[in-house]
Amino acid sequence: MRDPAALRPDDRDPAPRPAATVILLRRDRGAPAVLMGQRGAGAAFMPSKYVFPGGGLDAADAGVPLVTGLQSLCGARLAERAEPGVGHGLAVAAVRELWEETGLCLGEAGGGALPEGWQGFSAAGLRPTARGLRFFFRAITPPGRSRRFDARFFLADASVLAGDPDDFSQASDELSHLHWVPLAEARHLNLPFITEVVLAELSALVHGLAPRDQLPVPDSVPFFDNSGATPLFRRLGTSLG
């Protein structure tokens, strides 16, 4: 057997798995706040870190209908440097992961039957929706990690939730200490590096945004690209992307 230290990075590193993360922004109680939870100390990926809700894309996500799809420009940005057609599945994964990890629902009335695993939506008379989601950030986990993700971060205002934003009674146990963290305080938590970068981008966006303003659709999306041997910072939606 070859010495692992002698292997090339692409021999020993897992391929990045597409994933979706949801940044929920709350602006109805004074200072802006974001929803975060803490991963378990024994977690294989980012143990004990505070993170946004999210997780890997499942094969079934592509076949789940959305009452309202992604805003067209967000869909176009998702399609850049990506596998064809992956955007819909990522939007569904964002809604699913938010529901599973927090019990909070991005849903609307209407739509057709839902597959197994979406009983909570069906019971509430709701169907998943991408209305209000904004594609905000993308990052690929650097080589040398036991798990790697090609994560798309979606931003949404808590006002688009169907239900009480403080009701976490249906949450799984994947994240503990789920709570709304004032944006000004979030960067003092035990965070992954990329989460710090995302929070900085969010702070810049929120600055000057009135509480009742709709979240804008970014002209371009930051992309930390660790897919190759050399890390690159790109912006999706520009000539530099």
Give me the mean pLDDT over the 219-237 stretch.
93
Reported as a single tens digit per residue, the pLDDT across 3-56 is: 333 334 455 678 999 999 999 999 998 899 999 999 876 676 677 899 999 999
Judge whether residue 241 has pLDDT over 90.
no
Residue 212 burial (C-beta neighbours within 10 Å; 0-12, 13-18, 19+): exposed
* Residue 6 confidence (pLDDT): 37
* Residue 30 confidence (pLDDT): 84
Q: Note the pTM of the prediction, 2 decimals.
A: 0.91
* Residue 13 confidence (pLDDT): 74
Give the least confident one: 84-88, 153-157, 200-204, 235-239: 235-239
Strand 232-236 relative to strand 54-56, pairing: unpaired
Task: Give the whole-angstrom CA distance, residue 35 versus residue 180.
Answer: 5
* Residue 5 confidence (pLDDT): 39
Task: Give the whole-angstrom CA distance, residue 42 versus residue 63.
Answer: 33
Confidence at 161, pLDDT banded by 50, 70, 90? very high
Give the least confident one: 117-126, 152-161, 224-233: 117-126
Reported as a single tens digit per residue, the pLDDT across 173-198 is: 889 999 999 999 999 999 999 999 99
Q: Which residue has the higher pLDDT, 153 or 8?
A: 153
As a dihedral over the C-alpha atoms of residue 40, residue 55, residue 167, residue 37, rounded to 10 degrees, the angle is 40
Q: Which secondary structure element, helix H or strand E, spans residue 236, and what is its range?
A: strand 232-236
Reported as a single tens digit per residue, the pLDDT across 95-143 is: 999 999 999 999 998 767 788 888 888 888 899 999 999 999 999 999 9
Instruction: State the alpha helices, DSSP H only, in the chain.
Output: 9-12, 72-79, 86-102, 119-123, 183-186, 193-206
* Residue 188 confidence (pLDDT): 93
Residue in 100, 231, 110 with CA at minimum distance from that of residue 170 = 100
* Residue 215 confidence (pLDDT): 93
Paired residues of 213 in beta bridges? none
* Residue 239 confidence (pLDDT): 59
Q: Please, what are the domains in the chain?
A: 4-236 (3.90.79.10)
Task: Give the whole-angstrom CA distance, residue 14 versus residue 145.
Answer: 8
Does residue 14 contact residue 147 with C-beta atoms inside 8 Å? yes
